[in-house]
Amino acid sequence: MRRIAVTCAVVLVAVFIGLAAKQPQQDPRLHKASRAPDQNGWIFVHLEGSPADIGYQHGFLLAREIEDARKAIEISLTHDAKPWAFFRDAAEHVLWPKLPNEYQTEIQGIAEGARARGVKIDSVDLTVMNAWLELSPYYLNWYEKSQKHPTGDHCSAFVATGSYTKDGRPVIAHNNWTDYLTGSRWNIIFDVKPASGHAFIMDGMPGLIHSGDDFGLNSAGIMITETTISEFHGFDPTGVAEFARARRAMQYASTIDDFARLMQEGNNGGYANDWLVADRNTGEVASLELGLKNVNLKRTKDGYFVGSNYPIDPKLTAEETNYDLSNKSLSANARHIRWDAIMAQYKGKIDLALAQKFLGDHYDTFDNKEQPSERTLCGHIELSARGSKPWQPEFAPAGAVQAKATTAVLSESMQMTAALGHPCGIHFKAARHLSAHPEFAWQKPSLRDLDSHPWTGFKAK
């Protein structure tokens, strides 16, 4: 009996050691990293350490999600465009050589971590994923010497301060517009404590070292978001990829001036945006309209800036876009009018609750009635017989896929709130939509339901 007991004990110890060896925390690179249970559709991960360690943690903890996101991005990126190999070539030979070494190392770490979980992916694939919003259409139009691939109407956002907010301090909010094929994967909350620079918390997609829709805040007190500039053209292949500059600014900016400088250094014109920024320390907010040729920085300690994809500066509009600012039926113009009306209506009252409410707004300023569509702050292109041309055709499965909001007070303890799906509460059902609109059947392999979830708070570790 004693011999049997000893044998059993040895077997149990061996089993325990075997199981322990399989636990991710046994790799020293993962000791400071963690992945929390999903919260209302969001996946919260904490990453910490050197660029190599942060990358490995990211790849290991989100390996399956990275694999899934890559498939969705490939379907979206290559439909009616170039094959994946074309974009890999551009990523490897145009973008990669100009990436800061820090971010090359992090991307290589993501690939290594994902491969450790059995996912076949390399740093070139991951560079395509990080840059897909600037590779098409910005790089693609430059490569073809054309403007036939339009930039999209991505996002509604605002930042306000002073007499416009309830406590006189900055409030910032943003909802992300994209196709539901990829947007349903935009469900990661990254809490990152890098070895250099500032800690930061942001939303993002699996495999991306930046937010992608660019909402986040850092421990220095800088709060950041953006909206794209519609029908923008221009790309400089000798510049630094937008995703690297956006990540660098999120990680290293301590002031609004820092942010503007870091975004302009090596500007390649890719994914051209109007950046909305707040400094919780000074109470100042700013708009950085970053074209390729034209750059405009405006700032105030008492006012607001809004974004809905319209170009602001007349010179930038004329020289770098094909956009018609006079057509009030266009999505960006209709939403701009709505933003200004909301800011005036709620002046002196804007707080977190109102910011969240604004992002789910369905008032159409062109038809003067409540109706969710491409002309409302909470976008529903899937419900519009007009679509959002030239970006999306009629009834395209695209629009607002999630939303985020925070305040100066919350940012002091590195907190933000987020809602996955349409912030208005309307669900999108993929099978039902494809049945009614079979012209989008090409998305079927990866298009999935986009259910609305309640607002959820997140706090950095």
* Element (DSSP H or E) covering residue 259: helix 256-264
User: Can you give the pLDDT at residue 222?
Assistant: 98
User: Can you give the pLDDT at residue 88?
Assistant: 98
What does the pLDDT look like over 389-412, one tens digit per residue?
999 999 999 999 999 999 999 999
CB atoms within 10 A of CB 147: 17
User: Can you give the pLDDT at residue 153?
Assistant: 75
Closest CA to 65 of 38, 27, 33, 90: 38
* H-helix segments, 253-400: 256-264, 314-320, 331-345, 352-358
Q: How confident is the model at residue 292 (pLDDT cuts 50, 70, 90)?
A: very high
Q: How confident is the model at residue 19 (pLDDT cuts 50, 70, 90)?
A: very low
Q: How confident is the model at residue 7 (pLDDT cuts 50, 70, 90)?
A: very low
In whole angstroms, what is the distance from residue 95 CA to residue 89 CA? 9
Tokens of 120: 């076949």
The answer to whether the beta carbons of residues 420 and 42 sit under 8 Å apart is: yes
Q: What is the mean pLDDT of residues 338-351?
A: 98
In whole angstroms, what is the distance from residue 375 CA to residue 386 CA? 10
For the entire predicted model, the pTM comes to 0.94
The answer to whether the beta carbons of residues 151 and 130 sit under 8 Å apart is: no
SS3 assignment, position 65: helix
In whole angstroms, what is the distance from residue 333 CA to residue 311 CA? 10
Q: How confident is the model at residue 307 (pLDDT cuts 50, 70, 90)?
A: very high
Q: Which CATH number fits domain 151-459: 2.40.240.10, 3.60.60.20, 3.40.50.9100, 3.90.1150.10?
A: 3.60.60.20
Who contacts 96 (Cβ-Cβ below 8 Å, separation ≥6)?
A: 104, 123, 124, 127
Q: How confident is the model at residue 26 (pLDDT cuts 50, 70, 90)?
A: confident
In whole angstroms, what is the distance from residue 116 CA to residue 58 CA? 12
Q: How confident is the model at residue 161 (pLDDT cuts 50, 70, 90)?
A: very high
- Cα–Cα distances (Å) from 45 to 25, 32, 54, 62, 63, in that order, read 14, 11, 11, 9, 12
User: Can you give the pLDDT at residue 10?
Assistant: 34
User: Can you give the pLDDT at residue 98?
Assistant: 98
List, as one string, the DSSP characters of 369-414.
EE--STTSSS-BGGG-SS-BTTTB-TT-SEEEEEEEEEEHHHHHTT
Q: How confident is the model at residue 6 (pLDDT cuts 50, 70, 90)?
A: very low
Closest CA to 276 of 294, 249, 314, 252: 249
Sequence spans of domains, the chain: 151-459
User: Can you give the pLDDT at residue 23?
Assistant: 45
User: Can you give the pLDDT at residue 434?
Assistant: 98
What does the pLDDT look like over 117-127, one tens digit per residue?
999 999 999 99
The answer to whether the beta carbons of residues 158 and 405 sit under 8 Å apart is: no
Q: Is the pLDDT of residue 377 over 60?
A: yes
User: Can you give the pLDDT at residue 22?
Assistant: 42
Q: How confident is the model at residue 8 (pLDDT cuts 50, 70, 90)?
A: very low
List, as one string, the DSSP characters of 199-255.
-EEEEE-TT-SS-SS--EEETTSEEEEEEEPTTB----TTSB-HHHHHHHHHHH--S
> Mean pLDDT, the chain, as a whole number?
94
Give strand pairing partners of 147: none
